[in-house]
């Protein structure tokens, strides 16, 4: 399995979010980790910690074949189902805090409201994408 990148969030993240509105960490490729500030959600001001990837990227060719062989659509919604199934078994508490309304056919978008939850989410997605037994190992 590919080595998990070191979790490294800038010490001045609040200042970055205040000035630029967002911060992005590409080290998790093919996952993009983005943090958004200045977000209002359900009447609360939050930081949005988002994990995004595009299942149509070349990286996903073999992974998508495994999904399709299992009867799962190899698109953003199918990948969301795989991630949710994985979390149902391994981290149901985190599953309850996920937001995925922005997921679409071309992109899987999942966000949470805290750094701790995002770290767990990113690590779960990384594990799924890099599992030598395939993306469905441990999810079914």
Q: Does any domain span residue 15?
A: no
Q: Does any domain span residue 13?
A: no
Closest CA to 29 of 56, 64, 50, 59: 59
Q: Does any domain span residue 139?
A: no
Q: Enter the pTM of the model.
A: 0.92
Q: Does any domain span residue 88?
A: yes
How many folded domains does the chain comprise? 1
Q: Does any domain span residue 1?
A: no
pLDDT confidence of 91, banded at 50, 70, 90?
A: very high
pLDDT at position 132, please?
A: 78
Q: Does any domain span residue 11?
A: no
pLDDT in tens, 59-90: 999 999 999 999 999 999 999 999 999 999 99
| Domain interval for residue 77 | 21-130
pLDDT in tens, 21-49: 999 999 999 999 999 999 999 999 999 99
Q: For all residues of the chain together, what is the average pLDDT? A: 94
Q: How far apart are CA 97 and CA 78, in angstroms?
A: 19
CB 28 within 8 A of CB 126: yes
């Amino acid at each position: 399995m590919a080595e998990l990148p070191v979790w490294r969030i800038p010490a001045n993240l609040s200042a970055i979010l205040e000035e630029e509105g967002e911060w992005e960490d590409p080290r998790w490729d093919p996952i993009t980790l983005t943090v958004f500030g200045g977000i209002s959600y359900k009447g609360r001001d939050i930081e949005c910690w988002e994990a995004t990837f595009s299942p149509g990227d070349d990286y996903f060719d073999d992974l998508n074949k495994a999904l399709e062989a299992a009867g799962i659509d190899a698109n953003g919604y199918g990948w969301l189902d795989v991630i949710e199934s994985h979390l149902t078994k391994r981290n149901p508490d985190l599953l309850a805090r996920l937001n995925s309304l922005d997921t679409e056919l071309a992109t899987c978008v999942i966000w949470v409201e805290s750094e701790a939850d995002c770290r767990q989410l990113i690590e779960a997605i990384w594990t799924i994408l890099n599992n030598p037994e395939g993306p469905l190992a441990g999810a079914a």
